[in-house]
Amino acid sequence: MHVSEREAPQRWTCGKCSVEVRWTGTHEQAGLPPNWTDSHQGPVCLHCRREQAADAAVSALDLSLKERARLRSHSIIEFELKRAPDRSNSQIASAVHTSVVAVQKARERLGVAGAAP
């Protein structure tokens, strides 16, 4: 039995971590999966986009391990706030494994309004 192109699963593989996402033929998806982006490495998943934001914040800085971890955490929260400012603080905190208070402080620091907690 021949599977038409429309019925064949659509697949994307992250160019950084190699995670694969597939849509079955029953679900139409145009373009990249939600929250993915195209880069010179090919498609990049949301997890790797967060890591890229954190890496960019700490690269070329002479920091202690504790300071580096803190800055990476702040960078990931800020990435999420810029990416989806309308999400609630609790949704963002849950997505990036941090506290609601940390998200609230980042919102204040960036001056980003958003949804209620």
Q: Where are the domains of the chain?
A: 10-44, 47-110
| Bridge partners, residue 54, by sequence | none
Residue 25 near residue 6, CB atoms below 8 Å = yes
Alpha carbons 88 and 71: distance in angstroms, whole number:
22
pLDDT at residue number 20: 93
The SS3 assignment for 10 reads strand
CA 25 vs. chain centroid, Å, equals 26
- What count of other Cβ atoms lies within 10 Å of the Cβ of residue 26? 7
40-73 pLDDT, tens digit per residue, is 889 999 999 999 999 888 887 888 889 999 999 9
Predicted TM-score (pTM) of the model is 0.72
Give the pLDDT score at 9. Answer: 59
